[in-house]
Structure 1
Amino acid sequence: MLVIVGASGKLGFATLTSLLDHQLLASSQIAVTSSSTSGSSKLQPFTSQGVTLHNANWDDPIPHWTSVFKNADAIFLISSARIQKDFHDASPGHGREADHFKALEGAKAAGVKHVYYTSLAFANPSKSCVMTAHERTEAYLAEHWAGHFTIIREGLYSESWPLYFGHWDLQSDRNRSEVITAGGGKISWTSIADLGLANALILAAPRDEWKGRTVYLSQKQALSLAEVAKVVSEAKASEVAFREVSRDEHEHFYVKERGMDEGLVTW
Structure 2
Amino acid sequence: MVARRLADAGLAQRLLARSPERAPDLPGARVLRASYADTAQTRAALEGVETLFMVSAAENEHRRQQHLAFVDAAAAVGVRHVVYTSFLGASPTATFTLARDHAATEGHIEASGMAWTFLRDGLYLDFLPLMVGDDGVIRGPAGEGRAAVIARRDVARVAATVLKDPAAHAGRIYDLTGPEALTFTEMATILGKHLGRKVTFVDETIEEAHASRESYGAPDWQVEAWVSTYTAVANGEMGPASDDVLAVTGEPPMSLAQFLAEN
TM-score class normalised by the smaller sequence: 0.7 to 0.9
Report what 2:109 is aligned to.
141
Report what 1:16 is aligned to.
3
SS at match of 2:60: helix
Q: CA separation of 1:262/1:239 partners in 2, compared to 1, >3 Å: closer, same or farther?
A: farther
Report what 2:15 is aligned to.
32
Report what 1:3 is aligned to.
none
Distance (whole Å) between structure 1 residues aligned to residue 152 and residue 48 of structure 2: 29
The one of 77, 86, 98 aligned to 2:65? 98
Report what 1:266 is aligned to.
224
> 1:102 Cα shift?
1.6
Q: CA separation of 1:52/1:245 partners in 2, compared to 1, >3 Å: closer, same or farther?
A: same
> 1:116 Cα shift?
1.0
Q: Does 1:54 align with 2:54?
A: no
The one of 139, 154, 160 aligned to 1:200? 160
Report what 1:129 is aligned to.
97
Q: Does 1:150 align with 2:117?
A: yes
**Percent identity at matched positions?**
22
Spell out, residue by residue over 1:66-109, the C-alpha distance to the aligned partner (whole angstroms, 9 max, x if none).
1111111111110011x131xxxxxxxxx312111121111112
Question: Unpaired segments of 5 or more residues in structure 1?
Answer: 1-13, 86-94
> 1:229 Cα shift?
1.5
With 106-115 and 137-146 compared, the bigger mean Cα shift is at 137-146
Question: Unpaired segments of 5 or more residues in structure 2?
Answer: 226-263
Report what 1:11 is aligned to.
none
With 148-157 and 121-130 compared, the bigger mean Cα shift is at 121-130
Q: Judge conservation of contact 1:64–1:106 (CA < 8 Å) in 2.
A: no
> 1:233 Cα shift?
2.5
> 1:213 Cα shift?
1.8
What RMSD over aligned residues (CA atoms) do the two structures have, in Å? 2.1
> Hey, which bits of structure 1, 4+ residues long, moved more than 6 A?
none
> 1:262 Cα shift?
4.8
Report what 2:184 is aligned to.
225
Q: Judge conservation of contact 2:123–2:150 (CA < 8 Å) in 1.
A: yes
Distance (whole Å) between structure 2 residues aligned to residue 197 and residue 34 of structure 1: 21
Distance (whole Å) between structure 2 residues aligned to residue 234 and residue 76 of structure 1: 37
Q: Which amino acid aligns with 2:191?
A: V
> 1:178 Cα shift?
3.3
Q: Judge conservation of contact 1:230–1:240 (CA < 8 Å) in 2.
A: yes
> 1:119 Cα shift?
0.1
Distance (whole Å) between structure 2 residues aligned to residue 108 and residue 123 of structure 1: 22
Spell out, residue by residue over 1:188-237, the C-alpha distance to the aligned partner (whole angstroms, 9 max, x if none).
12211121111111111141x22222111222212210012112333344
Aligned residue pair count? 222
Q: Judge conservation of contact 2:56–2:85 (CA < 8 Å) in 1.
A: yes
* TM-score normalized with structure 1 length: 0.75
* TM-score normalized with structure 2 length: 0.77
